[in-house]
Amino acid sequence: MFDSLGTVIGRVLRLGAALVAAIGIVGSLVGYLLTGLPGVYAALIGSGAAFLFTALTALSVLIGSKLNLAGFLGAVLGGWLIKMVLFLIGFSFLNKSDWLTRDSRPIVFFTVVSAVIGGLVIDTLIVSKARLTATLDKP
């Protein structure tokens, strides 16, 4: 029995969500101990943003795979471009906000980096273990 693209991406999203939840909880505890309540917000924002960023790419591949080649590239690359601009604007507003104190900001960075690296490990493990067909799975 072979895995479809939808199955692989579903697995990646489920395990990725579990990992991000774990990083969010650990980061919130560390953040609370270091900087108080803003540290909790910082950890939750960092882990959530990293998950949203990686999950949107996976979803764009899943949606794009149902289209022809040009549609696939449009969905993946167009989605990537829009996502980058939205994250740039979002992080820019976040960096200027008052409620996120200056000493809690590094927690955003460290949770983003740990969630992204952990997500990449999950992606690689799932794709390497997936039983993908060598031929086109669409008739």
Partner 1 sequence: MQIIHLAAEAATQVSQISGNLGVLGYGLAAIGPGIGVGLVVSKTIESIARQPELAARLQVTMWLGIAFTEALALIGLATPFIFAA
Q: Does 46 bind partner 1 (CB under 8 A)?
A: yes
Which residue, chain included where needed, has tokens 């390497």?
Answer: 128
Sign of the Cα torsion 90, 31, 41, 98 reads negative
Q: Does 95 bind partner 1 (CB under 8 A)?
A: yes
Q: How far is the CB of 92 from partner 1 (least distance, A)?
A: 8
- Closest listed residue to residue 62, CA positions, set 124, 120, 12: 12
- For the window 52-91, what string marks contact with partner 1 as x by the rule CB under 8 A? -xx--xx--x--xx---x--xx--xx--x---x--xx--x
Burial of 1 (0-12, 13-18, 19+ CB in 10 A): exposed
Give dist(CA 15, CA 113) in Å, integer.
Answer: 17
Q: Does 125 bind partner 1 (CB under 8 A)?
A: no
Give dist(CA 47, CA 41) in Å, integer.
Answer: 10
Per CB under 8 A, residues contacting partner 1 are 5, 8, 46, 50, 53-54, 57-58, 61, 64-65, 69, 72-73, 76-77, 80, 84, 87-88, 91-92, 95, 102, 105-106, 108-110, 112-113, 116-117, 119-120, 123-124, 127, 130, 132-138
